[in-house]
Structure 1
Amino acid sequence: MKIPGSFFEIDLVISKDNLLEFKITKNKEVKYSVNPMDFSEIEYDLQSFLEDNSVFLPKNRFKLVLESLEVLYLDLNKKLQKLKDRDANSPIISEEQEISFAQRVFQAQKVLLMGGEGKSSIYQVIFEGKLPHETNVIKHTRGIEKHEISFPSFSSAGSSKQKLLLWDFGSKKPTSDDYKNATLLLFVIDAYDVHNYELYRDQLHETIAMMKKHGSRPKFLGRNQSNIFCFIHKMDRFTNADDQFRSLVEYFKLNPKTKEKSYEIKFFATSIYDSSIYSAWAKIIEILMPKSSKLNQLSNKLKDDLGLYAAMIIEKSTGLPIASSKTLLDDNSLVGSTNRILLTTEKVLPEYELSSLDTLKIETANGILQLRIFEQIYVYVLILIYPPHERKISTPEGENILQEFISEMRKSI
């Protein structure tokens, strides 16, 4: 697809790694390519690329380009899902699949958590089940706090545990040894700490350089997949958050030494006071542990059998999405919202002399949300969203379908 008024062309394709690839070319030479996490990343990257290359598109033309890209994006995602479903049903596992699975499961992933204030709060909200206001009294981290987190991993080759080694850096300046075997970098910037923007930017790009020199990029990542992530945090404090975020991304993307923009950094606008922190975390963790195609198929069947809007499974302790039905809803936002509901509910249950939440049902005028919690090795949450008039789920037949689904899921975990 040609970009009007320029020599650039844009395209979306499925790469050899079976990943979606967004490319911008000029005279058949690739000028920019990335494996996007979602369509919003394509929109932002295209706009940024056009600005950097002094290509002006009127808003109506840019909108038309995006609409065409989105149609292609949705179509390719369907094709990718079919490929994954085919692999899930195939009894034959290729050598590449086995290697990729082994690299994910048997190698603990070391994540470096660096940057400004807010790192410990993020950790405690996501992994320790604290509500945002409960993190207000956290003491500043001194030295390095090392956390080991286990979560389930699935593939067509099987399922197993995976370990995440999260190193939270406080006042200690990391040495080259700290970067050894580090596979992911998560850099946090306090968006409200305006006076330290320059310092944050210097540290971010210095850290990336050290990560490249001493770290260990996971071999299972696609050619254009990144392992460098940046949370622009506390964005809830801005009234014009979207515009402010775009401006900050442009600022922090620029390497102050080379004067070049680093497109390998994946930026997220986050806050512990809404679902954005869970959404960002879910997108990152899915790179390490893609959702299971087999469980996706089971979720789709459950959705169709019971007439649901959506069905989804998350692992409770990490907020990790395990599987979901095909839906227009944003999986990652759904994960964040569900975690916030569960955290709040579990905090108040003791006041009613209740414990061990099993099922939670919320009825509204235009739909019903039902959460079912069940345990295996991990604690899982089954999220069901369905129309207010849909009663099959409440019948004995509907309950049997649900129990069969849970039974099938247990076999796959």
Structure 2
Amino acid sequence: MGASGSGKTSMRSLIFSNNPASLTARLGATIDVEQNHVRFLGDLILNLWDCGGQDSFMDSYLTTQRGTIFKQVGVMIYVFDVESREMAKDLEYYRDCMAGLKQYSPDAAVFLLIHKMDLVREPRQPTFLKKKQELEEASGDTGVSVLPTSIYDESLYKAWSNIVHTLIPNASILSKHLNTFASACSATEVILFERTTFLVIATSSQSNTDVTDGDNTELDGKRYERTSELIKAFKHSCLRVREEFRSLEMELYDFTAVLDEMTRNTYVMIIVHDPTIEIAALRLNIRLARRKFEELQSDSLTS
């Protein structure tokens, strides 16, 4: 949900259609509701509704289509243009949507994306915090997640990874076994990505700390979403030269990284700082772990 021109279709195009940001200018306005059935993790189907934001459509969603639009919703994502000059009207529509959600899908998660943050002059954090406070006040006692986004940086992947993570059953079980796998590999960190979107499904680090326990190696707080963004850009470059992306390995002076298929629907990235660990050993561990993670993924989606 969100006003017309707020950027809903552009972000959907980047995340689920693998289009680069440079092509979003060609996208037209969404007419009424555009539905997509996105296959995620093989057996999990995301029914994604991109709702046009023109006033006539919004009024229809909130009146004659109210029972259809807001029934059986898992997650509502409301997009706000950070530079909107009609914020009062945007908030009015948002409150009406929240009322419809409470009526038909009271257990739905709510994510509010403050979009087009790239248009804000530095420093951007004060602008985001001001908007966040305004939206939290408009939400009343409803718990909402407010995140800054832009199609031109990694913030979009961070937001959508958080969104999708709420829809994956038993994602914590995958994280638990990734911890075990990381220990077996003597890895600093292990990250599990969804194959098509390269959104982060789970990591071996369940805490939010940016320092590892074994040494004082500092880890960038934006490392997951930056990795997603870079890999998708690399995949797109491969397609342009008619090559298929399969795997990736990097051996640098301060760390080694291996990215390879873990299951039919996921990729895994292993990061190690120990220079004595060979890439061949990491690939062997991935190969030995594949059957177990296929079972875990199947159990997670069917439970």
In structure 1, C-alpha distance between the alignment counterparts of 2:105 and 2:39, rounded to whole Å: 20
**Structure 2 runs not aligned, ≥5 long:** 211-218, 298-303
Deviation at 1:398, TM superposition (A): 4.2
SS of residue in 2 equivalent to 1:392: coil
Which residue of the partner structure matches residue 279 of structure 2?
A: 394
Deviation at 1:251, TM superposition (A): 2.3
SS of residue in 2 equivalent to 1:136: helix
Deviation at 1:407, TM superposition (A): 3.0
Change beyond 3 A, Cα 1:254–1:304: closer
Deviation at 1:332, TM superposition (A): 9.0
In structure 1, C-alpha distance between the alignment counterparts of 2:192 and 2:270, rounded to whole Å: 9
Deviation at 1:362, TM superposition (A): 3.2
Which residue of the partner structure matches residue 116 of structure 2?
A: 234
Which residue of the partner structure matches residue 168 of structure 2?
A: 289
Deviation at 1:320, TM superposition (A): 4.2
**Given the alignment, which residue of 144, 149, 162 partners 2:33?**
144
In structure 2, C-alpha distance between the alignment counterparts of 1:324 and 1:302, rounded to whole Å: 11
In structure 2, C-alpha distance between the alignment counterparts of 1:392 and 1:285, rounded to whole Å: 33
Range with bigger deviation, 285-294 or 127-136: 285-294
Q: CA contact under 8 A between 1:230 and 1:267: conserved in structure 2?
A: yes
**Given the alignment, which residue of 77, 93, 101 partners 1:186?**
77
**Given the alignment, which residue of 44, 59, 71 partners 1:162?**
44
In structure 2, C-alpha distance between the alignment counterparts of 1:338 and 1:291, rounded to whole Å: 24
Q: Deviations over 1:18-58 (max 9, x none)?
A: xxxxxxxxxxxxxxxxxxxxxxxxxxxxxxxxxxxxxxxxx
Deviation at 1:122, TM superposition (A): 0.9
Change beyond 3 A, Cα 1:229–1:295: closer
In structure 2, C-alpha distance between the alignment counterparts of 1:400 and 1:316, rounded to whole Å: 20
Letter in 2 for 1:315: E
Deviation at 1:229, TM superposition (A): 1.7
In structure 1, C-alpha distance between the alignment counterparts of 2:145 and 2:201, rounded to whole Å: 22
Change beyond 3 A, Cα 1:293–1:252: closer
**Given the alignment, which residue of 135, 142, 153 partners 1:252?**
135
Q: CA contact under 8 A between 2:200 and 2:228: conserved in structure 1?
A: no
In structure 2, C-alpha distance between the alignment counterparts of 1:363 and 1:344, rounded to whole Å: 20
Deviation at 1:323, TM superposition (A): 3.1
Q: Deviations over 1:351-407 (max 9, x none)?
A: 5x562212112344432332113552x3x11111122x5242324x44432211223
Letter in 1 for 2:66: S
**Given the alignment, which residue of 263, 267, 290 partners 1:406?**
290
Deviation at 1:130, TM superposition (A): 1.2
Q: Which has the higher contact order (CA 8 A, sep 6+)?
A: 2
Q: CA contact under 8 A between 1:359 and 1:372: conserved in structure 2?
A: yes
Deviation at 1:307, TM superposition (A): 2.1
Q: CA contact under 8 A between 1:183 and 1:217: conserved in structure 2?
A: no
Deviation at 1:283, TM superposition (A): 1.5
Q: CA contact under 8 A between 1:357 and 1:373: conserved in structure 2?
A: no
Percent identity between matched residues is: 20
Which residue of the partner structure matches residue 95 of structure 2?
A: 205
Change beyond 3 A, Cα 1:253–1:297: closer
Aligned residues: 276
Change beyond 3 A, Cα 1:202–1:364: farther
Deviation at 1:298, TM superposition (A): 3.3
SS of residue in 2 equivalent to 1:114: coil
**Given the alignment, which residue of 243, 259, 264 partners 1:355?**
243
In structure 2, C-alpha distance between the alignment counterparts of 1:331 and 1:216, rounded to whole Å: 37
Q: CA contact under 8 A between 1:114 and 1:168: conserved in structure 2?
A: no
Deviation at 1:230, TM superposition (A): 0.8
Deviation at 1:316, TM superposition (A): 2.2
Which residue of the partner structure matches residue 368 of structure 1?
A: 256
SS of residue in 1 equivalent to 2:18: coil
The Cα RMSD (Å) is: 2.6
SS of residue in 1 equivalent to 2:151: coil
In structure 2, C-alpha distance between the alignment counterparts of 1:208 and 1:293, rounded to whole Å: 28
Q: Deviations over 1:198-250 (max 9, x none)?
A: 1111111111112212x2234xxxxxxx6222101011222121110111122
Change beyond 3 A, Cα 1:366–1:355: same
Q: Deviations over 1:287-341 (max 9, x none)?
A: 2215544433432233222221111111122444333213645899444222212
In structure 2, C-alpha distance between the alignment counterparts of 1:180 and 1:331, rounded to whole Å: 40
Change beyond 3 A, Cα 1:233–1:384: same
